[in-house]
Structure 1
Amino acid sequence: MTLPFRDINVHVAADSYTFTSPSSPNAPTLIIDRPTGDVRLSEAAPFPKRVSRVSSISGILGFIRLRLDKYAIVITKAQPMGRLKGHMVYKVISTDFLPMRERQIRDPDEDQFLSLLRTYIMKGPMYFSYGVDLTNSFQRQASADTSSPLWMRADDRFFWNRFVQSDLINFRRMGNRSHPGSQPGVDPYILPIVWGTLEIRPTTFKNTPLTIVLITRKARHRAGTRYFTRGIDEEGHAANYNETEQIVVLNDTGRGLGGYAGSSDMQSGKYGAEGAEMQVLSYVQTRGSVPVYWAEINALKYTPKLQVRGIETALPAAKKHFDEQIRIYGDNYLVNLVNQKGREKRMKDAYEQMVKMLVSSPSEKVKGDVITDEKFHVIEPSSSRQEFDRLHYVYFDFHHETKGLQMHRAMLLVEQLQDALIAQQYFRGVDMPANGGLETRNHQTSVVRTNCMDSLDRTNVVQSMLARWTLDRMFTDLGLLQRGETFATADPAFEFLFRNLWADNADTVSNSYAGTGAMKTDLTRTGKRTKAGTFADGNIAVTRYYLNNFRDGPRQDAFDLFLGAYEPATANIGSSLVFADRRPILIQSIPYVFAFSLFFIFVSLFTRRAPDSAVWTIRLFMLFWFVVAGWSFSFIINNGMLFVNWPKLNPRPWATEGYQDAITKVRKDALLGPFVARHERGLSTARYLNAEEGKKRIE
């Protein structure tokens, strides 16, 4: 089994970057030639004659080619987070970009590309381990070929740095001109990273030592921000798709930050007190956007316009999505938590229509109560003739059932799913050091896929409830709880830990997608809905509105750049100054006019006046600026598409269409129309000159 190097030194020279492992002096040396960025291996250690510096790094995150240069991204600092089955897990704390060329001039686009990566990606929650596969659940690990290198066993969906590792992976598979064929010597330099939540908490439950772990893996396909990435793509990848695994490890002597995975206790096969076997119990859930083609279009309105394309057109993509879901997890219980009234009803109807098209002979059941006519809506296949008959749709009217801070009523959904949860089981494995892996004693046979509109707030609450129900079942099966007993009443300290683990997980997933922490975490942390929590949710809602309209464009660009959805080196060379604001100058100036108007109004209101000064002049002055402020604000709100901070690397089709409609409307404006048209005529020439300048600069 080939594992990544735990220690790497990088020797920086004018003609190369040379990577070596001090603890493996006989291992091949990885060399990156400068300025070409070509990859090669050397059996010896041909250190450059003129080394400018030698640095110790924790690993190679990958290589990325931007517009003018290629960069090696290295992990310069990693923080230990705890041990998982004896192996230390680390969080990426700091990184560095090593350029292939020494640039003499600054390029605005290149600098902006680097700034996006450093600001939004390198500061994200990224985790790795040298000894355990974090991308796969323990159930999938139990059936994996442990003789393969760690990166080959990684789940492609959650191998977050897969794109930037392409250079090393391609070299490993095919080599190059000087080294044709497979190159297994590069395997220890390829380090898989996951993005999401990773909490490892050694604790006790009723005086029984154990480790509780919570891992959420964010999928690298169709990753992005809240309003710029919705639904599914043509390959069946769902937006905001995450797999969450709750793990309990018993009899793990390597639980703390000390010790080493190869200790004598582990090598002898004796774990914990009296040589008890190490056991791993895990439960997996998934979440993801409603699997149809849909979008919410920002236009500075608090409630964006909802756009749903034809359900039939999305059917092939939905088939790809659920084919993968069924192949990996088995039966899928599709829990839909959107509202059944108002704008969200369109999403409910679209999802149900899609499920009816997928399953054969769909059978529907609707259950109501005094609160709502459709508390539950269940769609089940009448037979099991085809693959998609393993889909089981369950709609729950979350908002209406929990209205008035009655959040305990959300447990009605767990009761509805109880038979499915009992049949679903959970994974249980016993560590067998002699065999190099886990021996499976119990399988999880299905998965619950939960969604709301964002697959964040309501989804977090429901997932934590399902995890709680399953954890009670695990402890009962282990003999730690009596039948009918719950860990919440049996051990309040453990209950507190559990609640905060899931609340922190909710915040991490929400920050990645929406830019803020999650709503309704007061319920997860305290077990009840509070007025303070409702007020905090209001604050989050306002913050999300600001971020999603004015800050998410660059964040989406950063995801697209790092994950390979946009490649600067292959993009149109004529699009020089990619990040330049192409709006007419008058359009750009209106928010500043509005701000200046407010400034002058406040100055007029709060500036002291001389006793004998004329009042009417001040009133006329204020009236003028009130009119200007009112007109500016009205223009911004009525033409919101022109003021949203859109992604610039991969423009969204609906954004392009909406922008063109808005600019056409402005051209017809009696006041601004002639000036806007005149500016645009000059802009086309400016674009041409910028393109020519960009070509010369790159050459």
Structure 2
Amino acid sequence: MKKENTLDTTLNFSNYRFVMSSFELYETKTRYYLIGTNQSKQRYRVLQIHRTNPKELVVIEDDVVYTQHEKSKLLKMIEDGNMSVGGLHLVPMRIYGVVGFVRFTQGWYMIFITKRKQVALLGGHYIYHIDETRLVPVGLQVKIDKNSDEARYITTFQNIDLTKNFYFSYTYDLTNTLQVNMTQSPLQSEGKEPREKTSYDYNDMFVWNHYLLKSGFKDLRSRSGWILPLIYGFFDQAKISVFGRSIVVTLIARRSRYFAGARFLKRGVNDKGFVANDVETEQIVAEMTTTSFHSTDRLYGNPRYTSYVQHRGSIPLIWSQDTTNMSPKPPIELNVVDPFFSAAALHFENLFTRYGTPCIVLNLIKQKEKTKRESILGKEYAEAVDYLNQFLPKDKRIKYIAWDMSRASRSHDQDVIGYLEKIAEETMEATGFFHSGFEIPPRRAYTRQHGVLRTNCIDCLDRTNAAQFLMGKCALGHQLYALGVIGSPKIDFDSDVVNIFTEMYHDHGDTIALQYGGSHLVNTMETYRKINQWTSHPRDMIESIKRFYANAFSDADKQDAINLFLGNYVTKDGQPMLWELNSDYHLHNQDPRLKTAHHDYRKWFSEKALHSQDYEMDPALFTIPPSFRVPAINPDESDPFHGYWEEYYTHRQLTSLDSLFFFNMNGTLKYRPPKLVLGSKDCEGP
């Protein structure tokens, strides 16, 4: 069928990713046909999945973009061609995205998103939470024995509950920070014509369905609209009224898929430099005078978006804890003695590449103990940083801060909050934060974050979350000040803004703790602020017991599920089953026979990593030529200049204000005192 340009606009968007947000699945005896369409249901794409060979997955992307009429003709043609073998049938289910493909011991399966929920809005782009998925066999339906290996693999795979804390967006790249997304222009410097966007620079570290997508699609960085990256972690958004101005705060936590696992089973760092419980936390603060990231003449020119990013992760040494003795606090063991700290070097080089310099390490583990546990790691960690620092240029060295937060919180003469706020202010001065826009007033000048605060305790849960909250609170004050909302970067604890911000970070900490440790936070900000300490003791005990139970009885199954879902373990004929492995060490570390040559033990970093953020943006790359500023006649989400309105503002539908997500967003209104009703009993005189 002849390809037609069905989009009547001033631009040719064929070089851009075609966004699809709803799908229909049709089946014949030999093939599945997945039909994807955009928000306005004006254009359609077709994906073919062959069903005849259970061991080989054949997925074919049809490059043709069809109109609705052409799509109907194509389906009729397929139906007529298969009439002798049963025809063409619509599979009765709603589909909102393809999670990927997976195979265990028999045939292949497709995983689809069948329910979703809007949880956030960024620059006109919706963020969705997965509420329901469905596993569909590619081959012909065969009854699976409930006691078979296949049935056990399916059960293990589904132990990763995709309906808990998995998020996606059709039009916004959730795997990268706002700073990365808003400092990349699709325009060329010469001629200012749209450049051919042949790839999408997803951050592989945070694409949790990477293995599942790779099974069906050869190039995950292609322009294919079928590829929908999922992040795993936390997402929350709140609307705050400050002196009548509408401010939206968004909190995002992205969990790394590298060296991922449960608390006691994944500790420290692997030999590739990836640490356990690696989480990137980003807070985006925006003034919602206008929604879009873009201004009238500049891509990403809206000066009302700010963000700050911080990092948590296990101590980057090779260490573990023996859980076989059922102790609630197993002893800590350093498993490898490496005088060159090679794994830690790889980890910090990765941080330099991701965030730039300086890297500020805030180590909150115990420094002095009667029975040495945490302090063993503290001494080794300090030696690692000292060793690595001696080869770095002075202005690029890692700043190491070791502070026994547990001891300080029990002491009557130490101000935990005050000390952490001081560190936060110093960090903010060193790293700065991201502020979008060009050519804006001096006090709100365009800035970029250089460097990151890396926080850890032993589990990177309770103490870490409290420290990250105080860093976030400090950043929030600076972000509001930069937006011109408040007259000083200082904000008080007991204010509506900080109240809702505290709730967001508490939910953030609880979610990360459940994912890694199996329970909610044991110690909250109330503990460290020494508020309601007596009422918090029973909760602390319950959560400690929950965490111990999860670690002792369910973590092994959770680890198996993660290894299977992420493709760390792939079923092969003749190899042991997943549950028969004595250890998953070889799944997360390189085979010594295949290891590449180490960096020089002194020049352990690359110059490129040290200067990864040292570049200036050319405003010319972000200037929209006048001819492109004319609104498109029939825009859709694929339009890089106007498409951001199409998902949120559905022009062709009657929409009530009550149904709009932004109107119903959680906010500070609940902190307002109840209205005083004159004439009520409470207001009557004696």
Is 1:650 aligned to 2:584, yes or no? yes
- Aligned match of 2:319: 294
Say if 1:190 and 1:307 are closer, same or farther in 2 by CA, change over 3 A: same
Is 1:206 aligned to 2:243, yes or no? yes
Asked if structure 1 preserves the Cα contact closer than 8 Å seen for 2:285 and 2:305, the reply is yes
Could you tell me which amino acid in structure 2 is paired with residue 573 of structure 1? G
- Aligned match of 1:225: 262
TM-score using structure 1 length = 0.70
- Aligned counterparts of 1:51 and 1:461: Cα–Cα separation in 2: 57
Say if 1:61 and 1:518 are closer, same or farther in 2 by CA, change over 3 A: same
Asked if structure 1 preserves the Cα contact closer than 8 Å seen for 2:285 and 2:480, the reply is no
- Aligned counterparts of 2:199 and 2:207: Cα–Cα separation in 1: 8
Say if 1:407 and 1:573 are closer, same or farther in 2 by CA, change over 3 A: farther
Is 1:349 aligned to 2:387, yes or no? no
Say if 1:63 and 1:149 are closer, same or farther in 2 by CA, change over 3 A: farther
- Aligned counterparts of 2:29 and 2:547: Cα–Cα separation in 1: 46
- Aligned counterparts of 1:341 and 1:72: Cα–Cα separation in 2: 53
- Aligned counterparts of 1:653 and 1:220: Cα–Cα separation in 2: 13
**Residue of structure 2 aligned with 1:53, choices 85, 90, 103:** 90
- Aligned match of 2:218: 170
- Aligned match of 1:395: 402
Larger Rg: 1
Deviations 1:281-326 (A, max 9, x none): 1010000000010011102122213111234167222111111101
Matches within 5 A, 1:191-202: 191-202=228-239
Say if 1:480 and 1:294 are closer, same or farther in 2 by CA, change over 3 A: same
- Aligned counterparts of 2:483 and 2:123: Cα–Cα separation in 1: 19
Say if 1:501 and 1:277 are closer, same or farther in 2 by CA, change over 3 A: same
Deviations 1:522-558 (A, max 9, x none): 5289883622223211111111111101111111111
- Aligned counterparts of 2:417 and 2:198: Cα–Cα separation in 1: 40
Could you tell me which amino acid in structure 2 is paired with residue 575 of structure 1? P
- Aligned match of 2:422: 415
Tell me by how many angstroms 1:25 deviates.
6.3
- Aligned match of 1:114: 154
- Aligned match of 1:462: 467
**Residue of structure 2 aligned with 1:30, choices 47, 53, 63:** 47
Matches within 5 A, 1:253-268: 253-254=290-291
Deviations 1:350-389 (A, max 9, x none): 111111111117xxxxxxxxxxxxxxxxxxx7x528xxx4
Is 1:450 aligned to 2:489, yes or no? no
Is 1:41 aligned to 2:61, yes or no? yes
Say if 1:51 and 1:171 are closer, same or farther in 2 by CA, change over 3 A: farther
Say if 1:314 and 1:58 are closer, same or farther in 2 by CA, change over 3 A: farther
1:5 aligns to what SS in structure 2?
Answer: coil
Matches within 5 A, 1:178-327: 187-251=224-288, 253-254=290-291, 277=302, 279-299=304-324, 300-312=326-338, 315-327=341-353
- Aligned match of 2:608: none
- Aligned counterparts of 2:541 and 2:565: Cα–Cα separation in 1: 33
- Aligned match of 2:360: 333
Could you tell me which amino acid in structure 1 is paired with residue 533 of structure 2? T
Could you tell me which amino acid in structure 1 is paired with residue 153 of structure 2? F
1:91 aligns to what SS in structure 2?
Answer: strand
Asked if structure 1 preserves the Cα contact closer than 8 Å seen for 2:18 and 2:225, the reply is yes
Could you tell me which amino acid in structure 2 is paired with residue 131 of structure 1? T
Matches within 5 A, 1:555-570: 555-568=558-571, 570=572
Say if 1:458 and 1:483 are closer, same or farther in 2 by CA, change over 3 A: same
Asked if structure 2 preserves the Cα contact closer than 8 Å seen for 1:57 and 1:76, the reply is yes
Matches within 5 A, 1:433-448: 441-448=446-453
Say if 1:390 and 1:252 are closer, same or farther in 2 by CA, change over 3 A: farther
Could you tell me which amino acid in structure 2 is paired with residue 323 of structure 1? E
- Aligned match of 2:173: 133
- Aligned counterparts of 1:522 and 1:291: Cα–Cα separation in 2: 26
Asked if structure 1 preserves the Cα contact closer than 8 Å seen for 2:480 and 2:489, the reply is no
- Aligned counterparts of 1:33 and 1:653: Cα–Cα separation in 2: 31
**Residue of structure 2 aligned with 1:157, choices 205, 208, 215:** 205
- Aligned counterparts of 1:86 and 1:522: Cα–Cα separation in 2: 33
**Residue of structure 2 aligned with 1:359, choices 380, 389, 393:** 389
Structure 2: tracts of 5 or more residues without a match: 1-15, 67-73, 187-194, 589-686
Say if 1:141 and 1:233 are closer, same or farther in 2 by CA, change over 3 A: same
1:53 aligns to what SS in structure 2?
Answer: strand
- Aligned match of 2:641: none
TM-score using structure 2 length = 0.71
- Aligned counterparts of 2:529 and 2:102: Cα–Cα separation in 1: 44
Tell me by how many angstroms 1:159 deviates.
1.3
- Aligned counterparts of 1:427 and 1:232: Cα–Cα separation in 2: 29
- Aligned match of 1:644: none
**Residue of structure 2 aligned with 1:547, choices 550, 554, 571:** 550
Deviations 1:467-493 (A, max 9, x none): 10111122233333233741545xx32
Deviations 1:496-518 (A, max 9, x none): 21110000000111111011111
Say if 1:292 and 1:440 are closer, same or farther in 2 by CA, change over 3 A: farther
- Aligned counterparts of 1:414 and 1:57: Cα–Cα separation in 2: 47
Is 1:72 aligned to 2:110, yes or no? yes
Asked if structure 2 preserves the Cα contact closer than 8 Å seen for 1:251 and 1:277, the reply is no
- Larger CA deviation: 83-92 vs 54-63: 54-63
1:166 aligns to what SS in structure 2?
Answer: helix
Asked if structure 2 preserves the Cα contact closer than 8 Å seen for 1:10 and 1:17, the reply is yes
2:135 aligns to what SS in structure 1?
Answer: strand
- Aligned match of 1:9: 24
- Aligned match of 1:575: 576
- Aligned counterparts of 1:225 and 1:405: Cα–Cα separation in 2: 35
Say if 1:200 and 1:484 are closer, same or farther in 2 by CA, change over 3 A: closer
- Aligned counterparts of 2:490 and 2:274: Cα–Cα separation in 1: 40
- Aligned match of 2:654: none
- Aligned counterparts of 2:417 and 2:163: Cα–Cα separation in 1: 35
Deviations 1:338-358 (A, max 9, x none): 001231101101111111111
Asked if structure 2 preserves the Cα contact closer than 8 Å seen for 1:481 and 1:487, the reply is no
2:238 aligns to what SS in structure 1?
Answer: strand
- Aligned counterparts of 2:526 and 2:316: Cα–Cα separation in 1: 28
1:402 aligns to what SS in structure 2?
Answer: helix
Asked if structure 1 preserves the Cα contact closer than 8 Å seen for 2:367 and 2:403, the reply is no
**Residue of structure 1 aligned with 2:36, choices 21, 43, 64:** 21
- Aligned counterparts of 1:289 and 1:155: Cα–Cα separation in 2: 20
Asked if structure 1 preserves the Cα contact closer than 8 Å seen for 2:247 and 2:288, the reply is yes
- Larger CA deviation: 215-224 vs 16-25: 16-25
Could you tell me which amino acid in structure 1 is paired with residue 48 of structure 2? I
- Aligned counterparts of 1:648 and 1:26: Cα–Cα separation in 2: 51
- Aligned counterparts of 2:20 and 2:414: Cα–Cα separation in 1: 48
Asked if structure 1 preserves the Cα contact closer than 8 Å seen for 2:287 and 2:483, the reply is no
More helix by share: 1
% identical equivalent positions: 25
